[in-house]
Structure 1
Amino acid sequence: MTSRLKRTLLALSLAISLPAGAANYSIGTGSQSGTYYPLGGMLAKVWSDNIENFNMRAEVTAASVENIIKVSSGQQLVGIAMGDSVASAIQGQAPFRKPLDVAVLFALYPNVVQFIVPADSSINTIADLKGKKISVGAPGSGTRVGSTAILEALGIHQGDFKAQSLNYTATTNALANGQIDAGVIIGSAGVGAITELALTRDIRILSFSQAELAKVHAALPAYSGMEIPAETYSKVTAFTAPAVWNVLVVKKDLDPALATQMLETAFGNMDKISKVIADAKNATVDNMDKLQGVPLHASSQAFLTKMKGQ
């Protein structure tokens, strides 16, 4: 059989396996070592299995900023993003060049700002980061936007440290190999990348003081302090850090009927999703509008009002 014939037969088999008239979509996630990718994959499966003529795949991306831009331009139907990045997009603030017409479908779970250092590091406070080599997150990621904004709020400007632009996996690898002094991962408490690092290296996660948390909240209202218990990661003591909600972002004019189907299907299957992705337990109807100052999609607001009225 020739390679050309094989390709033809493969194309035919794929065409036959898809329902007639099925629409194909993507959900923007993040790196495969974070929470966005598996959660996006579960949502894509639930929607594809339960909404007629609907096929969705999870797309690996640089996360928040890229997802928001792709959703607003119609390249993705939905994307997972950090709340402060969504707020910046709606207001047209950096790194976005103009206001984007996006809205929140519903809130997912809180992301914690985790500054990681080797256990024997001389870095003990956020102020000690001055002059150090720090991974602040990949370009186009919410981690990069959030980490630099938080440091700025605490008076640590980009010229005050040596910034490295690494994703989750590259950050933990660089820490393990002694190539950087500190790395930031803004992700769920218990995120896989840090969990894996803590199993092979002794690390600490810096704790923010109450005064530092107050400064961060004043400059970035989407963030509030969150206490993370000891042993969330192997041998890592308890710490307190700013946290911001992750949300599902869609175009403001997403078809209301489709948005309603996606809401009903997601919440109807959230128990199933939570068994695979523990953070999904936070994605409840009561938490739908947890991100303040950012509008819900019209169908989401209607769904929330209806559910609270029952």
Structure 2
Amino acid sequence: MMRNMAVRISTVILALGVSLTAYADNYTIGTGSQSGTYYPLGGTLAKLWGEQIPDFTMRAEVTAGSVENSIKVAQNKQLAGIAMGSVVLKAYQGTKPFPAKMDVAVVTALYPNVVHFMVPADSDIQSVTDLKGKRVSLGAPGSGTRNSAIAILDALGIKEDDLKAQSLNYTATTNALANGQIDAGVIVGSLGVGAVTELALTRDIRMLSFTPEQLAAISKAMPSHQSIEIPADSYRNVPAFTTAAVWNVLLVNKNADEDLVYSMTKTMFENIDTVRQNIKATSYTTLDNMQKLSGVPLHPGAMKYLKEHQ
């Protein structure tokens, strides 16, 4: 009987060990709205890593975006996340909206996010300062869009209370703008982001441009934001506009396993052409651009790969 019990206990321990190993090797990557770029990019990376890294599986998780992803990565609730560099810098420094310094590190800079302040083509809103008193979606709670939009407005002396502000995600923002439920909407995403592309196919819209003085004020308040010129017809019938852009990054916990992060970095760059076939914005994802976000260090596993190729 004792021998049988010992066998049963050993079997339970073995089974528990297998289940724990299986659990440990199943990961998530935090993304954002399904109508943005983060979600398909996260899905592409998760599939690639699952196919190329032994005993590794990952799924893309829909989240509120950059702030949530930074927190979950720092708390080891996600192995990886995609986030705006400006948000990750705040997470690393422990400044608002974060209550304390977050244990985050960068794997690589990915591509620049373009700040889209959208209005109907026939709107009387001509500049960002005209948004006062208007119904404006600033982005979902916990998203990089909302964090960036509020910071940009603040840099220009416009408070959230000056607006009839709403907190809608990408899809809800474009739907509300299309239906006349809001006067303007903000989306911070890659050039050609799906939500804006789809809106422009069904509605006549335009983007608000920033003046050189406004862009200087934005860059002074947030060095991670730089000016960018967007040519006409980057979206259907949308005139050229001048706006701000901020790099997105792939992040992990700073204490994540070095060998695993090295493998993730190596696999991504060795298969970057496959990634680019699915996500055009990753044409900017290069070794030369890995450290585009200053102020937050690369994870040691990523740095090891970069040094091998310098």
1:34 is aligned, of 33, 36, 50, to 36
1:71 aligned residue: 73
CA distances 1:168-211 after superposition (whole Å, capped 9, x unpaired) = 00000000010111000000111100100001100001111111
Deviates more, 1:126-135 or 1:141-150: 126-135
CA RMSD of aligned residues (A): 1.3
Which of 240, 246, 249 pairs up with 1:247? 249
Please give the secondary structure, in 2, of the residue aligned with 1:185. Answer: strand
1:144, CA displacement in angstroms? 0.5
Q: Residue in 1 aligned with 2:306?
A: 304
Which residue pairs with 2:96 in the alignment?
94
Among 293, 296, 308, the residue aligned to 1:294? 296
Contact 2:260 2:301 in 1 (8 A): no
Which amino acid is the alignment partner of residue 204 of structure 2? Answer: D
Residue 259 (str. 1) matches residue 256 (str. 2) = no
State the match for 2:106 in structure 1: 104
Q: Is the 8 A contact 1:33 1:193 kept in 2?
A: yes
Which amino acid in the other structure matches residue 159 of structure 2? H
* Paired residues of 1:131 and 1:162 also in contact (CA < 8 A): yes
Tell me the CA shift for residue 305 of structure 1: 2.1
Q: Which amino acid aligns with 1:42?
A: T
Q: State the identity as a percent.
A: 60
Structure 2 portions without partners, runs of 5+ = 1-17
Aligned partners of 1:20 and 1:149: how far apart in 2? 43
Give how far 1:225 is off: 0.3
Aligned to 2:309, the other structure's residue is in SS state helix
Of 218, 221, 231, which aligns to 1:219?
221
Aligned-partner Cα distance in 1 for 2:188–2:20: 41
- The question of 1:173 aligning with 2:175 is answered yes
Rounded to whole Å, the distance in 2 between the matches of 1:52 and 1:132 is: 53
What displacement does 1:162 show? 1.0
CA–CA separation in structure 1 for the residues paired with 2:164 and 2:20: 54
Match of 1:118 in 2: 120
Counterparts of residues 124-203 of structure 1 (less than 5 Å): 124-203=126-205
Count of residue pairs the alignment pairs up: 291
Summarize the Cα distance change of 1:267–1:176 in structure 2 as closer, same or farther, 3 Å threshold.
same
- TM-score, structure 2 normalization: 0.92
1:38-57 equivalences in 2 (<5 Å): 38-57=40-59
Distance (Å, rounded) in 1 between the aligned partners of 2:46 and 2:290: 19
Out of 233, 236, 240, the position equivalent to 1:231 is 233
Secondary structure in 2 aligned to 1:195?
A: helix
CA deviations on 1:248-269 (whole Å, 9 max, x unpaired) are 1100011111011001100011
Find runs of 4+ consecutive structure 1 residues off by over 3 angstroms.
18-22
Q: 1:261 to 1:200 in 2, by over 3 A?
A: same
Q: In the TM superposition, what whole-angstrom CA distance separates every residue of 1:85-107 from its partner, at most 9, and x where no partner exists?
A: 00110111111101011110111
Q: Secondary structure at the match of 1:245?
A: strand
- The offset of 1:294, in angstroms, is 1.4
Q: CA deviation at 1:21?
A: 4.8
Asked if 1 retains the 8 angstrom alpha-carbon contact of 2:73 and 2:81, the reply is: yes
1:13 matched residue in structure 2: none
Greater C-alpha radius of gyration: 2
The offset of 1:213, in angstroms, is 0.6
Show CA shifts across 1:226-263 (max 9, x none). Answer: 11111110000111111000001100011111011001
